Amino acid sequence: MGATRAELLLDARNATGESPVWHADEQALYWVDIPARKLCRWQADTGRTHDWLAPEMLACIASRGPKAGWVAGMETGVFELQPHEDGRLDVRLLAGVRHAQAGMRFNDGRCDRQGRFLAGTMVLDMALGAAAGCLYSLEKNSEPRKLLGGFITPNGLAFSPDGRTMYLSDSHPSVQTIWAFDYDTDTGTPSNQRVFVDMNPLPGRPDGAAVDQDGCYWICGNDAGLVHRFTPEGKLDRSLAVPVKKPAMCAFGGAGLDTLFVTSIRPDGIDLSDQPLAGGVFALRPGVRGLPEPQFSR
């Protein structure tokens, strides 16, 4: 794979492929298809795929450790998922969430460097532009803690290598902003919100993100077919193209954490002749390495 050329990993045709996570113990990539309510897996050694069907829309996942399953932000709360090779998916509610209004679900989320699970919520109908979304934090054997509010479509959650800077965006067309926060690793509390990148003059809306070993922030430019890399100072460093208009989220993986996997969206009801691979999963070799994804362990 070339440094600037995306290769098709899987013609998955996901409606909304999101939350790719590299599972190092299995040498496998997991992700979700939100409206299809699917947990998906691609195994690097065989190229085989497997899907599990959940009872609610799945939006974001984080590993619980080797053979321990997953924690997932879904529609009504945060759940524990245990997939089985025979196709069964055991689902158990860890913590319910009382949404601000009807018609909401979780969206983007991941664990911080200390193993807390953080995830944002949104109103399903983005056309409403309702700023009812919140960012929650969950630790084991506790209730979800609301950290921030006032988002339309919270996205782009990521943490610096030392865990002391938290990144978060709002990908709604009326906002298109990425913020940075100071992050207290002892208490799991963000503070000192400031604009990291104003995406309005740049191509694409800010969607899912990842951080590399250099501390640079990679984020999908939804609607622009690009994945952008920003330095810790918020300077646009590189933009890599993918052959679809709506890349959704990126994640580092592979044996050397040097592959950037990108999931994407396959819009319904529009002509896709110019992007037949929409909804696919892609792989790039950007020449940098990522960081191991933290597990839910706090």
End-to-end Cα, the chain, rounded Å: 37
Q: Whole-angstrom Cα distance, residue 70 to residue 64?
A: 5
237 catalytic, yes or no? no
CA torsion angle for 283, 284, 287, 290 (degrees, to 10)?
-40
How far apart (Å, rounded) are the C-alpha atoms in residues 207 and 263? 11
List Cα–Cα distances, 170 to 25, 107, 174, 213, in angstroms. 32, 11, 9, 24
For residue 285, give the 3-state DSSP assignment.
Answer: coil
C-beta of residue 45 within 8 angstroms of C-beta of residue 275: no
Burial of 297 (0-12, 13-18, 19+ CB in 10 A): middle
By the 8 A CB rule, do 152 and 127 touch? Answer: no
Distance (Å, whole) CA 294 – CA 278: 29
Q: Is 205 exposed, middle or buried (0-12, 13-18, 19+ CB in 10 A)?
A: buried
93: β partners = 79
Nearest to 46 by CA among 13, 74, 95, 85: 85
**Which one of the listed residues 33, 170, 207, 258 is annotated catalytic?**
207
Q: Which two tokens stand for residue 48?
A: 């085989």
- Report, as residue numbers or ranges, the catalytic residues: 207
